[in-house]
Structure 1
Amino acid sequence: MPRYDEILIGSGPAAYKLSNLLAKTDHRVLVIEGNQFGGTCPNYGCEPKIFLAGAARAVIQSQQLVGRGISHPAVLDWHQLMQTKLHRFNSWPAETKANIERTHDTISGYASLVDKHIVRVNGVNYEGERIIIATGQSPVVLPIIGNEFLHTSTEVLSLKDLPSRITIIGGGIVAMELATLVAAAGAKVTMLIHSNRILRAFPSQDVQKVVAAMEARGIRFEYNVTPEAIETADGGFVVQTDHGSFPTDYVIGATGRRPNLDRLHLERVGIKIDHQGIIVDEHLMTNIPGIYAVGDVVSRPEPKLTPVAEFEGQYLFDYLMGQEKAPIKYPVIGQATFSFPEVALAGVNPDQVIEDSAYQIHHQSLKYGSLKAGENDQTSELTLVYHDDHLVGVSAVGDHAADEVNYLIPMIGLKISRKQYQQVAIGIYPALGDNVGNWLK
Structure 2
Amino acid sequence: MAETFDLIVIGAGMAGISAARKCASQGWRVAIVDALPYGGTCALRGCDPKKILRRGAEIIDSARLMRGKGIDEAGLSINWADLMKHKEGFTDGVPASMEEDLAGSGVTTLHGEAAFVDSHRLDIDGVVHESRNFLIATGARPRPLDIPGHEHIIDSTAFLELETLPARVLFIGGGFVSFEFAHIAARAGAAPVILDRGKRPLKGFDPDLVELLVERGAEAGVEIRREATITAVEQAASGYRVRFDTSGEQSSLDVDLVVHGAGRIPEIAGLNLDAAGIAWTERGVSVGAHLQSTTHSGVYAAGDAADTPGLPLTPVAVFEGKVAASNLLKGTTTVPDYTGVPTTVFTIPELTRVGMLEQEARDSGIDLDVRYTDTGGWYSNYRIGEKTAAAKILVDRAADRIVGAHMLGPDYGELVNLIGLAMKLDLSTRQLKSMTASYPSAASDLGSML
TM > 0.5 fold call: yes
Query: Cα distance, 1:92 vs. partner?
Result: 1.2
For residue 370 of structure 1, the aligned residue among 375, 379, 387 is 379
- Distance in 1 between the 2:67 and 2:52 partners? 24
Partner of 1:20: 21
Q: 8 Å contact 2:23–2:329 — kept in the other structure?
A: no
- Distance in 2 between the 1:45 and 1:306 partners? 10
**DSSP-derived class of the 2:77 partner:** coil
Partner of 1:259: 266
Q: 8 Å contact 2:213–2:408 — kept in the other structure?
A: yes
Query: Cα distance, 1:250 vs. partner?
Result: 0.6
- Distance in 2 between the 1:232 and 1:171 partners? 23
Partner of 1:429: 439
Query: Cα distance, 1:132 vs. partner?
Result: 0.7
The equivalences for 1:260-299 within 5 A come to: 260-286=267-293, 287-299=295-307
**Change in 2 beyond 3 A, CA 1:357/1:136:** closer
The aligned amino acid for 2:370 is I
Q: 8 Å contact 1:86–1:158 — kept in the other structure?
A: no
- Distance in 2 between the 1:208 and 1:92 partners? 37
The aligned amino acid for 1:245 is S
The aligned amino acid for 2:438 is I
- Residue by residue over 1:388-440, the C-alpha shift from the partner in whole angstroms, topping out at 9 and shown as x without a partner, is 221111110112221221121111222212332355x3110111111333333
**DSSP-derived class of the 1:321 partner:** helix
Query: Cα distance, 1:328 vs. partner?
Result: 3.1
Q: 8 Å contact 2:301–2:324 — kept in the other structure?
A: no
Query: Which range is displaced more, 21-30 or 318-327?
Result: 318-327
- Residue by residue over 1:127-169, the C-alpha shift from the partner in whole angstroms, topping out at 9 and shown as x without a partner, is 1111111111011231111111101110111111111111111
Partner of 1:4: 5
- Residue by residue over 1:288-345, the C-alpha shift from the partner in whole angstroms, topping out at 9 and shown as x without a partner, is 1101111110112321100000011111122222285433332321001001121100
For residue 96 of structure 1, the aligned residue among 98, 101, 116 is 98
- Ranges in structure 1 where 5+ consecutive residues have no aligned partner: none
- Residue by residue over 1:40-94, the C-alpha shift from the partner in whole angstroms, topping out at 9 and shown as x without a partner, is 0100010101111111111112112211222225311111111221222112112
- Distance in 2 between the 1:370 and 1:420 partners? 24
The aligned amino acid for 2:81 is H
Query: Which range is displaced more, 65-74 or 198-207?
Result: 65-74
Number of residue pairs the alignment of both structures matches:
439
For residue 117 of structure 1, the aligned residue among 116, 120, 127 is 120
Q: 8 Å contact 2:352–2:407 — kept in the other structure?
A: yes
The aligned amino acid for 2:377 is Y
**DSSP-derived class of the 1:402 partner:** helix
The equivalences for 1:350-369 within 5 A come to: 350-354=358-362, 356=365, 358-369=367-378
- Distance in 2 between the 1:240 and 1:12 partners? 37
Aligned residues with identical type, % of pairs: 29
Q: 8 Å contact 2:228–2:244 — kept in the other structure?
A: yes
**DSSP-derived class of the 1:171 partner:** coil
- Residue by residue over 1:168-192, the C-alpha shift from the partner in whole angstroms, topping out at 9 and shown as x without a partner, is 1110011100101111100111111
For residue 154 of structure 2, the aligned residue among 151, 154, 175 is 151
- Distance in 2 between the 1:165 and 1:215 partners? 15
Q: 8 Å contact 2:289–2:308 — kept in the other structure?
A: no
Alignment of 1:87 with 2:104, yes or no, is no
Normalization by structure 1: what TM-score? 0.96
Q: 8 Å contact 1:174–1:254 — kept in the other structure?
A: yes
**Change in 2 beyond 3 A, CA 1:323/1:374:** farther
Partner of 1:399: 410
Query: Cα distance, 1:357 vs. partner?
Result: 5.9
Partner of 1:346: 354
**Change in 2 beyond 3 A, CA 1:282/1:352:** closer
**Change in 2 beyond 3 A, CA 1:422/1:214:** closer
